[in-house]
Structure formats: C-alpha cells, structure tokens
C-alpha cells in the first residue's frame, strides 16, 4: 500500500474545466512526487445533470493532458449498494436518523432564518436525543436520512495549503446523506469513496473547504481516519471574475483547438499558483521532482492568455519536431489542408517554430507549403510584385531553374549572388520571392522556404507571379 493515494473527482456535468485540470495536475504531481497512486473517480450521482458525453469529454481532456488514472476509474453510480449498506449501518449505530421534513417545510425554515439574519440551517427537529419527544410521523412522506453531527467541540482541518482552519461544531447542521428516494448525496458518497479507495490526500478546489468539517465528522462516526486535505484556490478570468464561458476558452479541449501543446498548457497551469524560485519552465519530471504542495498560493490566480501563449511558444521552439509534427498535421487538416505530398511536417515545424506562438498560427503560415495559393496578400503584392519586382523574379527564375542541385545552401548562394550582381540588398530580392511563393511577406528564411516548397512548386509560383497583371 503506497503511503500516498490521491484522486481527482470531477462530476460529469460538462467539459473538463481548466481549473479542474489544474486540480487534477496538482493531485497527480503530489502522488507522483511521493511515489503514490493517483486515481480518478466520476461523481455522477446527480442523475439529472450527468451525461455520458460529459464523461467522454472529461476522459478526452485528461487523456490529452496525459493525466490518466493509475487504476480503473470509479463511478459512484455503481456503488449504490455500498452506500446503502453504510447508511443502514449508521442508522443502526445511531449516528444517522430519519427526518420527515418536507422540502416546503425546510424552505420555510431557511427563509425565516435568513429574515432573522441567522445562518440558514436545519433546526434538528427530527434529531433523536435521550428523553426528547419526536414529532408525529406524517403519513406518506419518504424520510431522508440525516447525519447526526456533534453539537459541541470543534473540527480542525489541517490544510496542506491554507494551514489550520477551525470550525465550531455548533455552526454545522445535520446534513442529508440520503434523499427521500434512498439515493445518497454528494457529501456522503465522497466520504465513503475516499475511505474505500484508501485516499490519503484529498486535493480539491477550495470551494469545498466548508464541506470538509462535515466530511471529517462523518468519517469519524464511521471510525475511519480522515485523510489530509489540500484545498487549491480557483482560477479567475483575466478580469478577476470567476472563469466562465464568456471568457473564451474554459474547456481544456478548447486549448488544443487554440493551438496549445498539452505539455505547455500543463506548464502554464503548474505555474499558476505555484512556483519554484524563479523557474518558469518545467519538464514533467522536474514538476514531479520539485512540486511542493505547501508552496501553492492561497489566493486565487487569474488566467493570463498572453503568458500561456508565451509558454506554448517556448515549448514549440524547444520540443522535438517529430513530436510536434502530428499536432501540426491535426491543425492543418482542421483548416482543410492535406499535408500529404508536401514537405515533411517535422521539417516545416523546425523552419516555422520561431515565428509561431501557437499551432494555429503555424498551420496558417505553413498552409502554402501544402496547398495552392488562394491569392496574394494585397498589400504585400502591391509592394513587392510591382513591375520592378516581377522583372527581378523573371530573371531569377531562370537562374534557379538552371540550378543543378535544389538544396538550401545552393539556393542561398544563388539568391545572394543574384542580389549582389544587381547591386541590391538581399531584402530587395527576397521579399518579391516570398510574396510570389508564400502569397505573403512572411515566411522562414528564403533558402529554407524555397527548399521546403520544392523545385516544381517554386518555379510554378514564380512564373505565375511574373505573369501577373499589374493591378
């Protein structure tokens, strides 16, 4: 049994949120760092909102990021028998009891308390106490089961990130652990699952801190040792407001479409709320080796797309081109370009990576290697494919055509010699070529561009540019 077992426990009511991804990452890193296990649990007890599509989307996101579970994922809906068994045991032991309050009754209770400026809570009217007379059971009401929370004393959550947090038991009411239809509720399932799965460290969003003392109390009632907790703060949008759809990309999988490399997104995420001195870039091994959960920030952080893109660029620039190639392939096809028959993708990655911060950008700028030009950028053409430029291209084309070898050094030499012979700067020659072959004034160095594009395509495009009528 490893000393550390963590879990990521999303509820499948939507896509994998970027904040959830970071929580999963921290959970994963903590487990790896301590040579423990990282597990996945799908919290699908909300039958109304949970969908199979969402389950798939979550797996897809986790897969893409490489945060896969060390064991088969646990689905809560498959554990109902177990939950019922535990509830029956608690009923028998007297740590839980039936409550016959109707929803309307509870709503009234809450409204009254709010009006009196009290914290809304269950008043314990069905809570059995020695010598207390319980109300008469109303007919036809399916009772819920409530946990009998201690009335006195305090619960200390020794949070790995936030430090000790103290709650008074008198602040806590008797929460429902089973609904009228007998189905268990979230706070209860979590407790039973964490116990059964042998979770030693619960790493989760800090929107759960207020649930923690109740969960600890239930665990204690069950005679189990509570795990350690680490509540990670949420991720905010650039405007400091909770991240939501109106901020653009919140779903992890959208970041793939935006042109991110998964390892780059992970790197950005790990630095959002955590740091190791001044280091910005971490390989996965470094993350695992250096991750220290006690150094996670206590305050929420804002998602900064500019910096995320910068990190992505760093990865694009240094990654193995062979590793990036399939991603570029994916993006090219996404914009309707079939890379078959063109230059090797890895070679294009190498030529383009410096000037492309995202794969979307790389695909856009590399399209011309694989597809026929769909016209020229007008401004660039007007500037460089004028009469003067076309005359230059006509002459140069002949020289290139006569080249015995079509490789970068030969092309470089030919273009240089041509410019020199004309008494022109290289720019005067390279720019018209660029616009002619790439359709725009942006491309890798001219020798590489022509080499990658190939002899046939280059000469055809030069000819087309020369034949172009003056606008």
- 200 near RNA, judged by CB under 7 A: no
Examine residue 423 and tell whether it contacts RNA (CB under 7 A).
no
Residues 6+ apart with CB under 8 A from 218: 147, 177, 187, 188, 191
107-126: which residues touch RNA (CB under 7 A)?
Answer: 110, 114, 117-121
Rule CB under 7 A: say whether 412 interacts with RNA: yes
88 binds RNA (CB under 7 A): no
Exactly one of 33, 46, 127, 373 binds RNA (CB under 7 A); which one?
46
Backbone angles phi, psi at 184, to 5 degrees: -75, 160
The stretch among 79-87, 126-134, 293-301, 342-350 that binds RNA (CB under 7 A) is 293-301
Distance CA 220, CA 374 (A): 69
Q: How many residues bind RNA (CB under 7 A)?
A: 82
Contact in structure between 258 and 193 (CB atoms under 8 Å): no
Quickly list DSSP for 76-129: GGGGHHHHHHHHHHHHHHTSEEEE---HHHHHHHHHHHHHTTPPP----TT---
User: Toward RNA, which CB reaches closer, 289 or 333?
Assistant: 289
User: By CB under 7 A, is residue 84 in contact with RNA?
Assistant: no
Counted residue by residue, the chain has a size of 471
CB 236 within 8 A of CB 300: yes
- 132 belongs to the catalytic site: no
Per the residue annotation, which of 117, 245, 307, 428 is the catalytic one? 245
Separation of CA 255 from chain center:
7
Determine if 80 is a binding residue for RNA (CB under 7 A): no
179-198 positions binding RNA, by CB under 7 A: 179-181, 183, 185-187
Rounded Cα distance, 309 and 311, in Å:
5
Instruction: List the interface residues with RNA, window 351-380 (CB under 7 A).
Output: 354-355
Helices 212-221 and 186-196 sit at what angle, rounded to 10 degrees?
Answer: 60
Provide, rounded to whole angstroms, the least separation between the CB of residue 170 and RNA: 9
Among 348, 397, 430, 466, binds RNA (CB under 7 A): 430
If binding is defined by CB under 7 A, does position 442 make contact with RNA?
yes
Q: Does 286 bind RNA (CB under 7 A)?
A: no
Q: Is 422 in the site for RNA (CB under 7 A)?
A: no
Least distance in angstroms from the C-beta of 223 to RNA: 24
Beta bridge pairs of residue 157:
165
Q: Does 347 bind RNA (CB under 7 A)?
A: no
- Minimum separation from the CB atom of position 96 to RNA (A): 13
Tokens of residue 72, six digits: 């088969």
Nearest-angstrom CA–CA distance, 202 and 193 = 11
Task: Please list every residue from 219 through 248 that binds RNA, using CB under 7 A.
Answer: 234, 236, 240-242
295-334 residues in contact with RNA (CB under 7 A) are 295, 297-302, 304, 306-307, 310, 313, 317
C-alpha to C-alpha distance for 302 and 19, rounded to whole angstroms: 11
Q: Is 424 in the site for RNA (CB under 7 A)?
A: no
Report the nearest approach of RNA to the CB of residue 221 (Å).
Answer: 18
- Pairing between β-strand 96-99 and β-strand 74-75 as defined by DSSP bridges: unpaired
- In this complex, which beta carbon is closest to RNA, that of residue 185 or of residue 200? 185
Piece of 18-26, 194-202, 395-403, 443-451 that binds RNA (CB under 7 A): 443-451
C-alpha–C-alpha distance, residues 203 and 121, integer Å: 27
Q: Which of 33, 84, 211, 286 binds RNA (CB under 7 A)?
A: 211
Does 434 bind RNA (CB under 7 A)? Our answer is yes
Which residues between 450 and 469 bind RNA (CB under 7 A)? none
Q: Is 135 in the site for RNA (CB under 7 A)?
A: no
Do 183 and 79 form a contact (C-beta atoms < 8 A)?
no
Cα dihedral value 57, 58, 59, 62, nearest 10:
120
Distance (Å, rounded) from C-alpha 158 to C-alpha 297? 16
| Element holding 355 (H helix, E strand) | none
Among 51, 78, 108, 210, binds RNA (CB under 7 A): 210
* Options 3, 72, 103, 341; binder of RNA; rule CB under 7 A: 103
By the rule CB under 7 A, 139 interacts with RNA: no
Based on the shown chain and the rule CB under 7 A, indicate whether residue 73 belongs to the binding site for RNA. Answer: no
User: Looking at the annotation, which residues are catalytic?
Assistant: 245
């Amino acid at each position: 049994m490893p000393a550390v077992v963590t879990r990521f426990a999303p509820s499948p009511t939507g896509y994998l949120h970027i904040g959830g991804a970071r929580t999963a990452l921290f959970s994963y890193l903590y487990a790896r760092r301590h040579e423990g296990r990282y597990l996945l649990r799908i919290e699908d007890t909300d039958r109304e909102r949970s969908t199979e599509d969402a389950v798939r989307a979550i797996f897809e996101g986790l897969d893409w990021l490489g945060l896969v579970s060390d064991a088969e994922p646990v689905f809560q809906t498959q554990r109902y028998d177990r939950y019922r068994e535990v509830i029956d045991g608690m009923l028998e032991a007297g740590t839980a009891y039936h409550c016959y309050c109707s929803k309307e009754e509870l709503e009234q209770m809450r409204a009254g308390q709010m009006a009196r400026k009290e914290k809304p809570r269950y008043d314990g009217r069905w809570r059995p106490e020695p010598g207390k007379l319980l109300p008469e059971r109303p007919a036809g009401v399916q009772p819920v089961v409530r946990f009998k929370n201690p009335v006195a004393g305090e619960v200390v959550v020794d949070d790995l990130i936030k430090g000790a947090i103290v709650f008074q038991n008198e602040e806590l009411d008797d929460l429902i652990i089973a609904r009228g239809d007998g189905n268990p509720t979230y706070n209860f399932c979590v407790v039973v699952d964490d116990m059964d799965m042998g979770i030693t460290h619960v790493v989760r969003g800090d929107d759960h801190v207020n649930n923690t003392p109740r969960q600890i109390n239930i665990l204690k009632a069950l005679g189990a040792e509570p795990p350690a907790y680490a509540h990670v703060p949420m991720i905010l949008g650039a405007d400091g407001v909770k991240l939501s759809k109106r901020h653009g990309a919140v779903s992890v999988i959208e970041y793939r479409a935006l042109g991110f490399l998964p390892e780059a997104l992970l790197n950005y995420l790990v630095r959002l709320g955590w740091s190791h001195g001044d280091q910005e870039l971490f390989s996965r091994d470094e993350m695992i080796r250096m991750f220290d959960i006690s150094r996670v920030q206590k305050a929420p952080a804002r998602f900064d797309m500019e910096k995320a893109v910068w990190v992505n660029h760093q990865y694009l620039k240094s990654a193995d081109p062979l590793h990036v190639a399939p991603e570029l392939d994916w993006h090219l096809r996404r914009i309707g370009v079939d890379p078959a028959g063109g230059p090797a993708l890895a070679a294009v990655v190498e030529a383009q990576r410096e000037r492309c911060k995202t794969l979307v950008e790389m695909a856009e700028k590399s399209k011309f290697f694989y597809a026929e030009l769909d016209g020229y950028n007008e401004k660039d053409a007007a500037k460089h494919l004028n009469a003067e430029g076309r005359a230059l291209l006509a002459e140069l084309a002949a020289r290139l055509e006569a080249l015995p070898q079509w490789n970068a050094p030969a092309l470089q030499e030919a273009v240089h010699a041509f410019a020199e012979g004309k008494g022109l700067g290289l720019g005067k020659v390279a720019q018209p070529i660029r616009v002619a072959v790439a359709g725009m004034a942006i491309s890798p160095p001219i020798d590489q561009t022509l080499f990658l594009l190939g002899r046939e395509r280059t000469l055809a495009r030069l000819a087309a540019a020369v034949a172009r009528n003056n606008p």
